[in-house]
Amino acid sequence: MPNWLPNAARLYLDHTEQGLSLRALARREGCHASTVIRQVRRYESRRDDPLVDEALGLLGRHVGLSNGRGTGKMDRFEPPRDEAVLRQEAGRVLRHLLVEGTFLAISADMEKAAVIRQRAGEKPERLARVERATAQAFALKEWIVCEKPGRVATYVLTPTGRSLVRRFARALGFDCGEDEGPRRRDKDGKPFLEAGLVQLAERLHEDFELAQMGGAGPLAEWEAWVNGAAVPHAGSQGGLASRARERVAAALRVLGPGLGDVVLHCCCRLEGLEAAEQRLGWAARSGKIVLRIALQHLRRYDETLADRNGQWIG
């Protein structure tokens, strides 16, 4: 089972697919039977959502014990197995859903879901695509919910999903309006951080989260790389977490004190600009200037490495 699967979904599958009694599950979890009953019933009712129903049916078949309630349209359920990777896809895709008139659409015969923006008097615009299994995972995590079922089902953000997207945006000092999504503008009305810099910050955070899942060290270790400590080398045999750790460490070392500090605390740790300013002893509202400079430096570093080997962060 994926490590991000909600515990309530595991309980539901253990009960419906493996035949464990509610009392047995309660004893295993160390809770009252009524708690398990509520969670199982909640997931049973959630099967009215097409993506949730598909995912639960496919997870059941994965262990060879499905009761056959899935749609049967897809043979495998292969979403990202790690929470950090799933959040990476969520950051890429779900942030678009903050914008008014935007939704995720999927039909029974589509291998991928599409994020569509529909403005009055304009043709629909596709903003992003995501694998069907990943969209199913978003639904299981309750980051999206079916707004309009049918031949083409449409999905919008849940309060939990909206909070997930906004958390990253606010750590970079953005407001999160319903009309534009994450934004902060300068005195001339231009976005303070252009889209490319925001995407770069997102990718860095995703690598940081992936490194943390691999058992990366404490804050002092990350700060040591900011101050010039040698970067660990993952090697060709290194796993995803090790390679992500190497990429973040290298970026922090390149930026150095000041620029690396604000990136570590705002982009990686999501502490927010005000908290970072206080931690670093900076003047109020100075952090946003330093953050923009840091991300611009990081982009140049990214472009240099991309010219050499086609890849850096993520």
Q: What's phi and psi for 180, nearest 5 deg?
A: -125, -10
| Tens-place pLDDT, residues 209-238 | 777 765 556 788 888 889 888 877 765 555
Reported confidence tier of residue 276, pLDDT bands at 50, 70, 90? confident
pLDDT at residue 137, rounded to an integer: 94
| Tens-place pLDDT, residues 244-274 | 888 899 999 999 999 999 999 888 888 778 8
Tell me what the mean pLDDT of segment 23-49 comes to. 91
Reported confidence tier of residue 90, pLDDT bands at 50, 70, 90? confident
Average pLDDT, the chain: 81
Q: CA-CA distance, 124 to 140, in Å (whole number)?
A: 27
Q: What's phi and psi for 270, nearest 5 deg?
A: 55, 45
Give me the torsion for CA of 274, 244, 206, 301, rounded to 10°. 70
Domains of the chain: 7-62 (no CATH), 83-167 (1.10.10), 184-309 (no CATH)
Burial class (CB in 10 A: 0-12, 13-18, 19+), 150: exposed
Helix and strand numbers (H, E) in the chain are: 13, 7
Residue 40 has pLDDT above 50, yes or no: yes
